[in-house]
Structure 1
């Protein structure tokens, strides 16, 4: 279960010899690794994208946008999967993505809209965004560096994991999940046992059934060793 899109999954899956399902983009996409197939998508249509951008611009001066899209496979050549508008501030400072005019960026269904703003924390952005967007969409973030992620209403890692659990006939009580940022909160609440990393966001620490060691201290492994 990841906030990352399907295009990031095959490399990780190959390195770790993983197969089966991957819940991607904070629950917006269910991807089957073995068949390289996108099975389901929860998307933001162009009309909603325009409404969200207009609302965010009214309260976040200087905000810039990017959109995450998917095709039928992880690397479908006909789909520009990550697009940014000119001047988009990428907190990770990499060269990923195709630059497009805003009209083009908002003209196609997206699984995630990213809003970035300098000199503001993600917590601050999320609070302001919630005031103007309400429950029309889901707002979350996975970094504190001035970036929020907007998804279709009801799109969470918990919703995506629930879809996988239904397919595999596994009850929530039999699932353990790990997280460290607000995009993990609903999943930790939904799972039978939710574990927060010690270096996690306060919202995550508050809902967890257990707090393990930090990411750098192999906190996940320390918990899993109790069962495996």
Structure 2
């Protein structure tokens, strides 16, 4: 296939694949079904852990392999199987939290949470998502586990979450990122309010998509990717063709090859439909 007809299409979820009502449009479902029927592979690449994917997967015409937790996990949604994981070690997380707390000391400090891989998307949430008592949830969570910072950071995690409700994510990033060496961890964010997402060094959606492409035997030039937030930048700039959504941040648009319309204006569907004209 040429670049105009990729072998693999990869899409971010929030702000990209789903609209502002968290729905996958009928138009996009039909476009994905056409692409899949022609022999193409489709995958999700998201900051979400596997356990948060099924409200989206239930709207799709297929059950894809998913790049989860910003590249830390490859998850086969058809068989509910974790294929690969790339985790932060407890010692690295302890160092990370200390550096972040110092960087944010003048702004109210930091709350800490972790996502662990487990073996299934249906493992108990309290075993997969653990928070410290001072962690201010950025979304509704009723079944998380709770423990001291020592307990929360005692096991490897696919993602470390740093929370400060007095700052935006960009403000947190500007303060924390310089304090975290690249060989210790990768720091990014995917929402506007004060929450940073930290992965093992070098782990991004790009590395997750590259792992998937290697499994499928697909070259980088044969991949098309879509995204809207800073945690998509590496993936969009690496893929054979990277598309930023019309609602994307300016830094994301600058990293992409093209800009499509917003997630509420069928941005992903428009590009896929154009492959068949």
Higher relative contact order (CA 8 A, sep 6+): 2
Matches within 5 A, 1:1-228: 1-61=45-105, 62-77=109-124, 80-95=127-142, 97-135=144-182, 136-228=184-276
CA shift in 2, pair 1:69/1:158, >3 Å:
same
Q: How many residues align?
A: 228
Separation in 2, partners of 1:141, 1:148: 5
Which is worse superposed, 84-93 or 160-169? 84-93
Larger radius of gyration: 2
**CA shift for structure 1 position 124:** 1.5
Q: Is the contact made by 1:69 and 1:79 (CA closer than 8 Å) also made in structure 2? A: no
CA distance in 2 between partners of 1:17 and 1:76 (Å): 25
After superposition, the C-alpha distances for 1:58-101 in whole angstroms (9 at most, x for unaligned) are 11132101100011221234971011111211222443522222
- Residues 71 and 79, structure 1, Cα contact 8 Å, conserved in 2: no
- Stretches of structure 2 that go unaligned for 5 or more consecutive residues are 1-44
For structure 1, which runs of at least 5 residues remain unmatched after alignment?
none
| Aligned partners of 1:70 and 1:79 also within 8 Å | no
- State TM-score, norm by structure 2: 0.78
Please state whether the residue corresponding to 1:153 is helix, strand or coil. coil
Shift of 1:132: 1.1
Q: Deviations over 1:93-117 (max 9, x none)?
A: 4435222221110111100000010
TM-score, structure 1 length as denominator? 0.94
**Structure 1 stretches (4+) deviating beyond 3 angstroms?**
93-96
